[in-house]
Structure 1
């Protein structure tokens, strides 16, 4: 598919075109100019020679070109600079990939008088059209096809960039527009050094600051326009929080010299405070208390009698609302559905909404109002829940910061004893079907095809919850079995041990065959042999085929593997890992495919049954294991997204017995993205979405992009702690070239999925990192459904 689009993205655009060429053989030793290659070279300045080399049939391919001076090879360059003429369709032909196929050679001024002819050739190939160039025959310079400007978000409300002197009269007027409205104006009246292919040029630069009203903790897309044209790189996604350190120094002349350091601090250092400072944090960021409609009546049901009076008399329980309460006697955590039905049809007949709590729960300021407001403002929401504090045996409070609705985690952790708000009609329907526990009510909206959009998570610590009674995990197991049985899902459900919150483990039956693709990369045959030994027992749990994808493997090892029934594919030189692995997965002939790094070793033989069992749920699109080192410390449990920073491994550094915040590492749970080390998915989904995008994400983040595309289509991305691998050997630090490539991919991922990066649905906006501190300031507190938006068009040149 063409990743550069001038039209808004849509779900339909996720289905990738398969037109790109996938050459299976080794490259020709002598590259020719035959075919549909887009090639050009010209002298654009006294000391500059520029051009491009692109293959429209293989947009992943990046050529290496060579500068020859008077027949002597001088230098080489990789053709990967942005060329506007290739990024957008025009008279010269259709757009090519991401448009990054240009090169620049800067001639040595001292050497130039002694050189007569310059020639640019494809490395190991023929000269490019436009060569040779006679350097002293007075030929006019050709206008360069290069970017005419650029805009970048610097963090906070700051935007900077540059504008070519040829693009607009100096000093150019620069406008920042949000929602088609001009919000800030600046002049490109300062100078910036712009580097391109080793050549530095001075161009007019600008620095622009948006008004403080846009520092609201929400994502905004800013278009930067000069002379009526949008600058490359725009629209820019920005996420600015109020009261940064730089803003503190604003207007304080005596501390103006400290402002650059404050801006750097705001940009690069996470802002957080420990949970021990919660009282001061809440005083600085008081919880919102929304106004409910004056005519609305609300029913409040308390399950259990011990502590019910304190719950109903809590001063922060709907102090300005019209509500009526009832206490439901319970036995071993279960109440009689008829009691609540009678209450809703009699005293609560005029109530539109219902709040349900366990006895002993205490409402905090705005807690109930926020849940009810989420249902009032969103007609599609069936149930709302929020964050809470769990009151421990010694009276201390442990924060329970939850995430956007996560079906697998909800099935395995239920309501975690939290307060719920739901619609009266939905509650009556659940009660008529036999719901008799808080978990039954919480899970009841999951039934049906549209279950993924029924729940809403409302950020905010709205309630203090009592400890769980005996048998809470058994009650949850019954509720989970009820949901799975109604979906005709064969599964074993049993309580989990050693968890703070009640939890169960769900084992679904395996009903699909699979192909395991071992990614050897540049590893040796010894690593591969140990991987095959470790997987021998796992292959017996299902109908499993095995293949190996490698960059290189000696012929004797490849022959031995093929004799043992293992398919072996060695990629030609220069093929990216994204293209190599995507090809291996697409060529499988089974319903499911499983990609596995050859350095990973399973902790037990049930990992494949676990991944395939969870993948059997029609709403699940990908399942990944939890990966640790040899000592059991977590290396990754999916990826955490954030705007302005590269994706980071979730759970990194947690010990083998660390349950993670809210016991998340003890239960199956959803994440936004993953790395391509280990996962299982359906081959049909992988093929329909074009696999990994080798143009935008050739090395590291192709699997993350694929996971996000699956979610935009309504599929879930699940990490299961019941499938664990440890990684053999120490991680290899990337080279400077690899690190630069990874940073470029991270920028593209952020540009394409800015909405997800601005507010990762499976991270809580009130906490920082992996939930071990409070965010200062907190993120967007708006209710969240967990639905993923389609990707944004990637700006040309990313």
Structure 2
């Protein structure tokens, strides 16, 4: 029998409703005890003392956490800790209890889950607007530091307005911590106080747990463990900071090419743009011929070299002096070109940082995206191998290196353009946003590309970006502007709705008919109803300076809130009362949207009216200028996530994408335009499986499954105060509904979400990271892909 005196325990603090402590037995140091919590002698809760606790003896894994209800805490004056089914108390805590003085309040805390990211929340309750800082230490040495950058509402007493504060943070940890050893990290604020949840214990392996268990487990366990760990890593993907890219690349080098699958000799032509050394690895399976263009702007020399290369070689690539290709890069690219019967294969790349001491930066690209290509020649950024048949006898051959990919694209189908998601090209010079480190005669080049674009789309225009000079802006005009119906659901929230309509009137210069359909979902306030009557009675009024007209209608929806059903009812009402020919374009618009510039609606409608486009979304910003929505990426955060939440509206973003018109798998319904006929053809929003959340993702994926494009453009910018009316899903009922919607989305679209063509498998799906901000650890399968939506 173990002597009772050997058993120890402590209640170390009550943080709101969270009670923490530890229990340990010196005679059995490896045993994890079940503990009981009593309130004034009455049992309240049971827990297993098996978590790490910084004050626990032994190996420290003897801590526990118990959530007690307000009712339980209000009904007792003293909490007691015992072992389960034991009477002798180990410790007591008299209420009210406060956290230790050297710790922050419980609502400021740090969390960790598998991966190299910590995230949390830090607010100085005495001065909420003061931006504090957070530091991470290991054995007294600082290894990371950050400041909060995410905005949310500070909790206040019921009925008072919530104060928006910048309190959310995330901290990337260095790759050196992923060494398989246990690391104890202390997280403090700038006043030296530990955050709740600190210290944090992490243990990570660079190759993942599946690699580790293959060497640690017995043979009989490996099959089952491998399946379980693969599922675990899919559900909890990990990420690492892009600053660790060199170490990441060493851990996950480029895949060596397979044996050549074509009999007979194959020759690849390499056009070198400039004099100097070019580092091409030996490629026994291929013959390589090189043409050197001393002055890349010498159009005669370039066209002669290109013509000669097309006659003599099976495929063509362009590189710059000092570039280095990964081992077997040309063979890998040719293999995809041949086996997929592709016209173009392009790879990822890396390049030096712009500062001399900066590490090399990766460039991980999307699958083929024609809209982004007009704005940025991303095909030329990595190794781009073009089949000679595409260029041979071209009716409009490229006059300069910057036209090569555009000329090639003109003569091939979209499904013949394949992306190989590996960094096959190590560039010698820093990345230029337009794909080429040198862009001679920028104005002339823009003029040439505009001529090619006019051949493809006479109504489209390219313009140089005013601040990011390597990027181009893609816009369109229309000869006939269709009528647009904007659907705005609301329940009271008069301040938001009024701001939405006021800014729409002030900043909508649309030369056609705009019909605003306010859907009233059980508004109660008299002033709201008076505003509805005022707007409906105003009749048709002028809109903008180009002859536009605006009408406002109010439709009652006296049923429980169901966002999908509300919009479906609105579209049905438009068709029933205004006829099939009225308002061929519909726009889903939240009542917390504010318009920022006069041509926002023209930009969206003109892009939508292209053949093959199913939906168009805008760039949405928080009131403080941060990006709220820059497109939707599948798979991130377990389902889908908005792009750009860590960027200011004028930041470059990943490879310039914060300023590029481009294609995504989905855009948010907070501002989404589509043809009414398409909306009806796919059944509208799914009101059964997605009554509140993810209905826009499902809607867009249904369009993508029909072969229609979903486009996002930064040329239309609006402010969006997300969930300002509906609020967050915090109640048990709302949380259960949200879980059902997430399960439905996974069931219906799991393959499309986890293999999003707009996202690179080398980028992380880490739940603690925003899209495009971390590297996958380890990378997902790096198979060649085109722009088709996975089934």
TM-score, normalization: structure 2?
A: 0.63
Q: 1:596 deviation in Å? A: 1.1
Partner in structure 2 of residue 55 of structure 1 = none
Partner in structure 1 of residue 304 of structure 2 = 339
Query: Equivalents in 1 of 2:209, 2:744: separation in Å?
Result: 28
Q: 1:601 deviation in Å? A: 1.0
Matched, 1:573 2:559: yes
Q: 1:445 deviation in Å? A: 4.3
Residues 670 and 718 in structure 1, CA contact (< 8 A), matched pair in contact too:
yes
Partner in structure 1 of residue 729 of structure 2 = 734
- Given the alignment, which residue of 558, 573, 576 partners 2:532? 558
Q: Summarize the Cα distance change of 1:704–1:609 in structure 2 as closer, same or farther, 3 Å threshold.
A: same
- Given the alignment, which residue of 498, 508, 512 partners 2:476? 508
Residues 538 and 608 in structure 1, CA contact (< 8 A), matched pair in contact too:
no
CA deviations over 1:327-381 (Å, ceiling 9, x no partner): 23545385656413541365x1xx32222224443212233232222111111x2
CA deviations over 1:415-450 (Å, ceiling 9, x no partner): 4544311111101244x41312334221234437x7
Query: Equivalents in 1 of 2:354, 2:633: separation in Å?
Result: 33
Residues 618 and 671 in structure 2, CA contact (< 8 A), matched pair in contact too:
yes
Residue correspondence of structure 1 range 728-767 to structure 2 within 5 A: 728=721, 731=724, 732-736=727-731, 737-767=733-763
Query: Equivalents in 2 of 1:243, 1:304: separation in Å?
Result: 38
Residues 275 and 293 in structure 2, CA contact (< 8 A), matched pair in contact too:
no
Partner in structure 2 of residue 421 of structure 1 = 385
CA deviations over 1:252-308 (Å, ceiling 9, x no partner): 479x9xx9998997465431223333343233322112233452322323243333x
Matched, 1:594 2:590: no
Residues 628 and 635 in structure 1, CA contact (< 8 A), matched pair in contact too:
yes
Bigger Cα displacement from structure 2, 548-557 vs 401-410: 548-557
Residue correspondence of structure 1 range 54-93 to structure 2 within 5 A: none
Q: 1:394 deviation in Å? A: 4.8
Residue correspondence of structure 1 range 547-696 to structure 2 within 5 A: 547-553=517-523, 554-564=528-538, 565-574=551-560, 576-586=562-572, 587=574, 589-642=582-635, 645-696=638-689
Q: Summarize the Cα distance change of 1:523–1:475 in structure 2 as closer, same or farther, 3 Å threshold.
A: farther
Query: Equivalents in 2 of 1:759, 1:410: separation in Å?
Result: 21
Partner in structure 1 of residue 208 of structure 2 = 244
Residue correspondence of structure 1 range 446-595 to structure 2 within 5 A: 446-447=409-410, 451-465=413-427, 466-467=429-430, 468-471=437-440, 473-474=442-443, 477-499=446-468, 502-510=470-478, 511-543=480-512, 544-553=514-523, 554-564=528-538, 565-574=551-560, 576-586=562-572, 587=574, 589-595=582-588
Q: 1:406 deviation in Å? A: 1.1
Q: 1:608 deviation in Å? A: 0.7
Matched, 1:440 2:433: no
Matched, 1:270 2:237: yes
- Given the alignment, which residue of 261, 267, 292 partners 1:327? 292
Q: 1:566 deviation in Å? A: 0.6
CA deviations over 1:174-200 (Å, ceiling 9, x no partner): xxxxxxxxxxxxxxxxxxxxxxxxxxx
Partner in structure 2 of residue 385 of structure 1 = 346
Partner in structure 2 of residue 788 of structure 1 = 789
Bigger Cα displacement from structure 2, 261-270 vs 715-724: 261-270
SS of equivalent to 1:566: strand
Residue correspondence of structure 1 range 48-127 to structure 2 within 5 A: none
Residues 402 and 439 in structure 2, CA contact (< 8 A), matched pair in contact too:
no
Q: 1:383 deviation in Å? A: 0.7
Query: Equivalents in 2 of 1:342, 1:400: separation in Å?
Result: 30
Query: Equivalents in 1 of 2:208, 2:383: separation in Å?
Result: 34
Residues 541 and 606 in structure 1, CA contact (< 8 A), matched pair in contact too:
yes
CA deviations over 1:531-578 (Å, ceiling 9, x no partner): 111001444323122221231345433322211231111212136210
Q: 1:781 deviation in Å? A: 0.9
Partner in structure 1 of residue 372 of structure 2 = 409
Residues 661 and 770 in structure 1, CA contact (< 8 A), matched pair in contact too:
no
SS of equivalent to 2:587: strand
SS of equivalent to 1:735: coil
- Could you tell me which runs of 5 or more consecutive residues in structure 2 were left unpaired when the two chains were aligned: 1-113, 115-204, 431-436, 539-550, 576-581, 765-769
Partner in structure 2 of residue 96 of structure 1 = none
Query: Equivalents in 1 of 2:467, 2:413: separation in Å?
Result: 30
Partner in structure 1 of residue 771 of structure 2 = 770
Residues 347 and 424 in structure 2, CA contact (< 8 A), matched pair in contact too:
yes
Residues 473 and 503 in structure 1, CA contact (< 8 A), matched pair in contact too:
no
- Could you tell me which runs of 5 or more consecutive residues in structure 1 were left unpaired when the two chains were aligned: 1-154, 156-240, 791-798
Q: 1:697 deviation in Å? A: 1.4
CA deviations over 1:662-689 (Å, ceiling 9, x no partner): 1111111111122321111111111111
Residues 492 and 506 in structure 1, CA contact (< 8 A), matched pair in contact too:
yes
CA RMSD of aligned residues (A): 3.2
Q: 1:717 deviation in Å? A: 1.0
SS of equivalent to 1:545: strand
Query: Equivalents in 1 of 2:748, 2:230: separation in Å?
Result: 26
Residues 294 and 321 in structure 1, CA contact (< 8 A), matched pair in contact too:
no
SS of equivalent to 1:572: coil
CA deviations over 1:575-606 (Å, ceiling 9, x no partner): 62101112323526222211111111122122
Query: Equivalents in 1 of 2:588, 2:650: separation in Å?
Result: 27
CA deviations over 1:202-244 (Å, ceiling 9, x no partner): xxxxxxxxxxxxxxxxxxxxxxxxxxxxxxxxxxxxxxx9953
Residues 482 and 584 in structure 2, CA contact (< 8 A), matched pair in contact too:
yes
Residues 571 and 580 in structure 1, CA contact (< 8 A), matched pair in contact too:
yes
Bigger Cα displacement from structure 2, 296-305 vs 673-682: 296-305
Residues 326 and 343 in structure 1, CA contact (< 8 A), matched pair in contact too:
no
CA deviations over 1:75-126 (Å, ceiling 9, x no partner): xxxxxxxxxxxxxxxxxxxxxxxxxxxxxxxxxxxxxxxxxxxxxxxxxxxx
Matched, 1:374 2:341: no
Query: Equivalents in 2 of 1:269, 1:688: separation in Å?
Result: 37
Q: Summarize the Cα distance change of 1:760–1:262 in structure 2 as closer, same or farther, 3 Å threshold.
A: closer
Query: Equivalents in 2 of 1:669, 1:374: separation in Å?
Result: 25
- Given the alignment, which residue of 293, 315, 332 partners 1:353? 315
Query: Equivalents in 1 of 2:648, 2:699: separation in Å?
Result: 29
Residues 391 and 397 in structure 2, CA contact (< 8 A), matched pair in contact too:
no
Q: Summarize the Cα distance change of 1:250–1:456 in structure 2 as closer, same or farther, 3 Å threshold.
A: closer
Q: Summarize the Cα distance change of 1:757–1:729 in structure 2 as closer, same or farther, 3 Å threshold.
A: closer
Residues 541 and 608 in structure 1, CA contact (< 8 A), matched pair in contact too:
yes
TM-score, normalization: structure 1?
A: 0.62
Q: Summarize the Cα distance change of 1:446–1:583 in structure 2 as closer, same or farther, 3 Å threshold.
A: farther
Q: Summarize the Cα distance change of 1:263–1:417 in structure 2 as closer, same or farther, 3 Å threshold.
A: closer
SS of equivalent to 2:692: coil
Query: Equivalents in 2 of 1:644, 1:599: separation in Å?
Result: 25
Larger relative contact order, structure 1 or 2 (CA cutoff 8 Å, min sep 6):
1
- Given the alignment, which residue of 720, 729, 732 partners 2:713? 720
Partner in structure 2 of residue 282 of structure 1 = 249
Residues 346 and 418 in structure 2, CA contact (< 8 A), matched pair in contact too:
yes
